[in-house]
Amino acid sequence: KVPQLLPVKRYKIRSHYDGVFSLDFTKDGTRLAVGYGSGDVTLHDTKTAKLTCCPSRKSEQLPVTGLQFRSQDRSEMLYCLASGPIFLQRIEDESNVVDVMTTDEENEINTLDVSEFGYYFCTAGKDRNTRIYDWEKFKPFSVLGPLTEGDYIGPPEDTLTQHGKRIFSVKFSDESPYHLVSGGWDNSVKVWDLRTGQVVKSMSTGSNFGPKLCGDALAIKGDLCVTGSLLPENAIELWSIKEGRRIACLPYESPKLRGEYVLVVKFCGDNHVIAGSATCHDAQIISIAQEKVVSRIDGFRRSVSSLAVSSSGKVAVAGGAPYISFVETMTTPFFLET
């Protein structure tokens, strides 16, 4: 039987926040930022779970679909709304003012990522394009994609060089400042070279059941890429970025009538993956080497759609209960559930 992880403390969440859509830790793991369906963002001390900051908001009530601290810096945080605006919050600023840095007009943003090398950040979403920004000008200096609206209709071979449907997750490489990986609803994962603006690898199983992402279900660690698909089986796949091929399918334990249907996945240390399901209402930690589930976080009322993992080994999990729960495990001492 897979061990169940139990909460050791809880922190109540206000109901008007309309659920958790995004999470991120500071680099040192001392703070956790939470983005909500209402467009609000809160900041918590990870030792006590107490609210330390609640940034003021200048926006309509739409979900925070992407949220991330600047690499190596706990004082600046970027977040974006589904409707397109991108905000910069300077955490140490006593005025607690959020600046609207730019707006991705007429596009729904589904994801945001910040390069670990500190130069760039990017957004992607409905229009199938990935926009690369620098921190100085907050203007896109490169656009990766078709530059056209709507789902792609045309020769199948053209989807090797662009996404055919909306993008749900994009991640910069943690080894190279010139590469990023993107995935979405079109059964493939693309590896891009920022210097040329072109796809250098298109990873797919060659069937209609490749990586079908519907959330932040893509993570990178070195040459490895893990994806989570909204599919009933074989939803978690491990890929080699350099070789552009699938290495393994990792298990997610679920009743047959429910299926796996993974919404979010992250690397959890060097040897494990943590994933959340839309139908099983739990999160599971999976051993990469053993290819088996080693622990489970149960008790969620709805889909588990948000995860965050810090470099110091802390993990946050968001599901459908009106409180934050902290859980201690053999590798990760901190969990959040809402």
pLDDT digits (tens, 9 = 90+) for 268-292: 888 999 999 999 988 899 999 999 9
Q: What token pair was written down for 4? A: 């169940």
Query: Is residue 333's pLDDT more than 50?
Result: no
**pLDDT confidence of residue 68:** 92
**pLDDT confidence of residue 337:** 45
Closest to 167 (Cα-Cα) out of 189, 191, 142: 189
In angstroms, the CA 203 to CA 245 distance is 6
Q: Which residue has the higher pLDDT, 110 or 54?
A: 110
Q: How confident is the model at residue 305 (pLDDT cuts 50, 70, 90)?
A: confident
Query: Is residue 31's pLDDT more than 70?
Result: yes
**pLDDT confidence of residue 176:** 92
DSSP-derived secondary structure letter, 4: B
**pLDDT confidence of residue 16:** 75
In angstroms, the CA 85 to CA 49 distance is 28
Best-predicted range by mean pLDDT among 4-18, 46-60, 245-259?
245-259
Query: Is residue 72's pLDDT more than 70?
Result: no
**pLDDT confidence of residue 330:** 42
Query: Is residue 217's pLDDT more than 70?
Result: yes
Q: Which residue has the higher pLDDT, 189 or 72?
A: 189
Q: Which residue has the higher pLDDT, 13 or 96?
A: 13
Of 1-15, 63-77, 79-93, the one with minimum mean pLDDT is: 1-15
Q: What token pair was written down for 337? A: 């559930």
Would the CA dihedral through 223, 269, 337, 291 be positive or negative? positive
Q: Which residue has the higher pLDDT, 322 or 23?
A: 23
**pLDDT confidence of residue 57:** 61
Could you tell me if 312 and 74 are in contact, meaning their C-beta atoms sit under 8 angstroms apart? no
Query: Is residue 316's pLDDT more than 50?
Result: yes
To the nearest whole number, what is the mean pLDDT of the chain? 81
Whole-model pTM? 0.88
Query: Is residue 338's pLDDT more than 50?
Result: no
Of 50-64, 106-120, 144-158, 296-310, the one with minimum mean pLDDT is: 144-158
Q: What token pair was written down for 168? A: 């749900």
Mean pLDDT of 192-212: 81
**pLDDT confidence of residue 331:** 43
End-to-end CA separation in angstroms for the chain: 26
Mean pLDDT of 23-43: 86
Q: How confident is the model at residue 181 (pLDDT cuts 50, 70, 90)?
A: very high
Mean pLDDT of 13-25: 81
Q: What token pair was written down for 153? A: 């209709």
User: % helix / strand / coil in the chain, to the nearest 5?
Assistant: 0, 45, 50
Query: Is residue 334's pLDDT more than 50?
Result: no
Of 92-96, 214-218, 281-285, the one with minimum mean pLDDT is: 92-96
Query: Is residue 327's pLDDT more than 60?
Result: no
Q: Which residue has the higher pLDDT, 245 or 98?
A: 245
Mean pLDDT of 161-169: 88
